[in-house]
Chain A
Amino acid sequence: DAKTTQPPSMDCAEGRAANLPCNHSTISGNEYVYWYRQIHSQGPQYIIHGLKNNETNEMASLIITEDRKSSTLILPHATLRDTAVYYCIVRVSSGGSNYKLTFGKGTLLTVNP
């Protein structure tokens, strides 16, 4: 799986959009971009994933650049409960039961009141 690079930490004001960047310059054509987050002392939670098109769900939006070498996770209206470590992961395949994940260091997003 391709390596990802994320800033170690970011701050965001409550109610504002949080934009979390991720670089994955060595991504292959068949690799997907996944985002998970981990709130302190809990297991990770799936947020969103995409291949090359932008994606949106009830939690967030994922913007992938045209060359697919980077992406941005957008939380449109951050709340205090969004404070967590956000992991950007690149992996082959969008499904299957053999689903091991390689976690990097992630970005600690702190949402401030």
Chain B
Amino acid sequence: GAVVSQHPSRVICKSGTSVKIECRSLDFQATTMFWYRQFPKKSLMLMATSNEGSKATYEQGVEKDKFLINHASLTLSTLTVTSAHPEDSSFYICSASLPGAPEAFFGQGTRLTVV
């Protein structure tokens, strides 16, 4: 089946720095990818929709200047957490789907810890 890969799987950064997370569709082209965030013992919350070649669409309450999304190619979307703070520590997950396919494929997730 289709594979979506995230990198890194874990990252620790200092408060105030920026962190970039990559999401790649390994064997298919994805015009649309989605970014989710999950806090401990909570469900996934959609953050934004990443559109290849155009601006991302952010969900209500998600700061677009803090969570920069770039979808420069059909196989890569990046999420940059800018000026990270401890409250940004979370599990970040991306997903993509094949056009016309019923299921979404998820990356393995990135555990971000801001110290």
Contacts and interface: CB of A to CB of B under 8 A. Distances in A.
Interface of A: 32, 34, 38, 41-46, 49, 87, 94-106
A58 B101 CA distance: 18
29 contacts: A34-B102, A41-B91, A41-B109, A42-B108, A43-B95, A43-B106, A44-B44, A44-B93, A44-B95, A44-B104, A45-B106, A46-B103, A46-B105, A94-B102, A95-B99, A95-B101, A96-B97, A96-B99, A97-B31, A97-B32, A98-B49, A99-B34, A99-B95, A99-B96, A100-B46, A101-B44, A101-B95, A103-B45, A104-B43
A49 B102 contact: yes
A97 B106 contact: no
B33 to A, nearest CB: 9
B30 A97 contact: yes
Contact of B93 (A32, A43, A96, A100): A43
B61 interface: no
Contact of B108 (A43, A49, A95, A96): A43
Interface in B45-100: 45-46, 49, 91, 93, 95-100
A97 B103 contact: no
A101 B43 CA distance: 12
Interface in B1-43: 4, 6, 30-32, 34, 36, 43
